[in-house]
Amino acid sequence: MFYKKIAAVVMSVVIAGSVPCTVFADTDVSAVTDGEVEELSIEEDFSDGTDSISALANALADKTVSDVAEYQEAKAEAEEIAQKRLEAEAAAEAARKAEEERKAAEEAARKAEEARVAKRQEIADFALQFVGNPYVYGGTSLTNGADCSGFVMSVFAQFGYELPRVAAAQCAASQKKSVEDIEVGDLVFYGDGGIDHVALYIGDGKIVHASTAATGIKVSDYNYRAPAAVGTFVE
């Protein structure tokens, strides 16, 4: 009978959870007889242990809730940091591409300007090779003779430009610019009360032109006469 009660107590402890067994510490089981066993109240003997288990369970539950909240907060913070990092990387990449595009645009503009200047210089260099050839009124031959407008017209024709035949018409058809902005390859027009002469500007304050029958095609200072206008057919 005694052992059955002990078994019942142990089973109750197992069912309830881990309960301290100090209740048996001062009991000499071998000395107890069936007639001497006192009724054991599981509820009274294990009430403290049961309360401790409940408190522990509540504490664990609170700790779990707290840990979950901290985890969620840390996760949200990590995601925000990761998002900011992605945004920063995207901004840096956009800035890098913008800088590359800017440099490419500058390089393209530089090459275009070099090509523009080179083309103007090519026209001037081409015209200079005919210095010394004769002036012929009404002529358009670079080798056998040309007048001022015939010389200019024939030079530009070599580069795909179709200029009018006479100086006044060339001046009217050209894009005007100030003398201060004159460039190699521009045309300088002369005349008092009307355009009667044209020359090609070659830089350094000089022009090449079919001057007169006495001097032929030659180089002169651009202001040997007062320029009436400056025009261009070249970009």
Is 197 an active-site residue?
Answer: yes
- Residues 46, 13: contact at Cβ < 8 Å? yes
| Positive or negative: CA dihedral 12, 18, 20, 21 | positive
- Would residue 148 show up in a list of annotated catalytic residues for this protein? yes
The one catalytic residue in 170, 197, 208, 230 is 197
Which residue is catalytic, options 209, 211, 216, 229? 209
**Strands (DSSP E) along the chain, which ranges?**
140-141, 145-146, 175-177, 187-190, 197-203, 206-212, 216-221, 227-232
Question: What residue type is 22 in one-letter code?
Answer: T
Residue 158 appears among annotated catalytic residues:
no
- 3-class DSSP state for residue 182? coil
Please give the angle made by the CA atoms of 117, 123 and 126, to the nearest 5 degrees. Answer: 135
Q: Which residues of 125-158 are buried (b: 16+ CB within 10 A; e: fewer)?
A: eebeebeebbbbeebbebeebbbbbbbbbbbbee
Helix, strand, or coil (residue 133): coil
Please tell me the chain's helix, strand, coil percentages from 3-state DSSP, rounded to the nearest 5.
55, 15, 30
What is the Cα–Cα distance from 231 to 8, expressed in whole angstroms? 121
Catalytic residue among 142, 148, 152, 188: 148
Amino acid at 188: V
Catalytic residues: 148, 197, 209
